[in-house]
Structure 1
Amino acid sequence: MTKLDAKQVAAEKLDGWVYLPGGLYSRIETKDFAAGLALVNAIGEAAEQMNHHPDVTLRYPAVDLRLASHDVGGVTSRDVRLAWAISSLAAERGLRPSVVDVSRIEWALDSPDYDSVRPFWAALLRMVPDGNDVTDPTGLQPAIWFQRSGHEEPRQRWHPDVWIEPAQVQPRIDAALAAGGTLVSDAEAPAFWVLADPEGNRVCLCTWQTRSDLG
């Protein structure tokens, strides 16, 4: 099974699904817990028939989903087919997938020698190395991304990377600016935008665009 890159996933035009690090993500608002439970049971039956299983989180009043092919470490056509199937199951119940409130947070650590600090964080958090990341094998905790920086001081060593669907970038930026933040840089857009809070603490708003593979 071949792993799909971000552009290939986008070409599938999966309404209500977004490709973020770790897989395909969606949220289905169910209005009540019983409707969510019924949807989860239907998804479970479809997944068994397809022999491909999603990560599902049932809450009141929404179902959060992540699809990934663990055997290849990314998104494949199996995940696309399952996403279409889940969307159909939701539509039968008058529900629809959405990405408006879907995001994935990574913590990024800037270090002039990140190879020396990465083993510490992997051991402390019981995570595993994955390229420049350390990740939680269960997928429950945010990944940590390590990137090289200079030796200059002072600097903000830690910052969050917030991954969202591209169409949600401008609304998020507008909301952040209205809340007192500033846009520090859009030089790397549409891969990422750098924003800061009123005290100057920075955050990157990231999308799959212009990236070859997110894993």
Structure 2
Amino acid sequence: MARDTTTLTRTQVADERLTDWEWMVGAIEARYDTGGFAAGLELVNRIGAAAEEADHHPDLTLTWPYVHVRLVSHDAGGVTSRDVALARRISEIAAGVGATPTREKLTRVEIGLDTADTPAATEFWSAVLGYDVAGHEAVVDPDGRQVELWFQESDARDEGRQRFHVDVTVPPDQAQARIDAALAAGGTIVSTDRAPAFTVLADPEGNKVCVCTWQGRESS
């Protein structure tokens, strides 16, 4: 039977109402508090068995006392119905072993680099980091463990540009809490023009960071 390689939009994934899961930069992710390492290992083993049965395999991270799960269909280059189906099964397994979903803890960090020469930046940074080239605007860790670096076109003559900035992607219902915490810690709001896709903040010394969500990044 042919695999379904039809990718789903962020909105289509949201419409599936996967209560444990969130769209996080091109994949869906869940994070479970297991209460201990042995319980986490049991959860990982049960997820592994379900993945083998489905012939569709997530990225799993086991630490004390959490299990982090990331689902994406690599052959399709995005999230498909296979990921949605396995996500539902994993939620059932987690509930069965008493693991608690912790969506509020989900965070995906990326680094953006302003550059007037994206091809040159791509060649250099993929070489020095040992990363793969992803499209024309980013380089990524082939094992999915490290922070992604993406490139933003800028004018080389703009001496006031900030070369590097951090993007912090969180679930949409957690964005305001992150922003409020940053403001309470001495930050300021630079721009809300593209919220909720991203809100630009600055630390007390003016270094910028974007708090991002998947919302507002597509019309459907």
The sequence identity of aligned pairs, in percent, is: 54
Aligned position for 1:43? 47
Deviation digits for residues 52-72 of structure 1, max 9, x if unmatched? 111000000000110011111
CA RMSD of aligned residues (A): 1.3
Q: Equivalents in 1 of 2:218, 2:142: separation in Å?
A: 23
Aligned position for 1:143? 148
Secondary structure at the counterpart of residue 39 of structure 1: helix
Q: Which 4+ stretches in 1 moved above 4 angstroms?
A: none
1:52-201 matches, cutoff 5 A: 52-131=56-135, 132-150=137-155, 151-201=157-207
User: Does the CA-based 8 Å contact 1:112-1:149 persist in structure 2?
Assistant: yes
Q: Equivalents in 2 of 1:164, 1:22: separation in Å?
A: 13
Cα shift at 1:95: 2.1
User: Does the CA-based 8 Å contact 1:185-1:194 persist in structure 2?
Assistant: yes
Q: Equivalents in 2 of 1:207, 1:143: separation in Å?
A: 16
Cα shift at 1:20: 1.3
Matched residues, number: 213
In the superposition, the TM-score normalised over structure 2's length comes to 0.93
Deviation digits for residues 146-197 of structure 1, max 9, x if unmatched? 0111221132100011111100100000110111111111100111010111
User: Does the CA-based 8 Å contact 1:109-1:146 persist in structure 2?
Assistant: yes
Is 1:207 aligned with 2:213?
yes
Greater relative contact order (CA < 8 Å, ≥ 6 in sequence): 1
Cα shift at 1:141: 1.1
User: Does the CA-based 8 Å contact 1:190-1:207 persist in structure 2?
Assistant: yes
Q: Equivalents in 2 of 1:180, 1:142: separation in Å?
A: 25
> 5+ unaligned residues in a row in structure 1: which ranges?
none
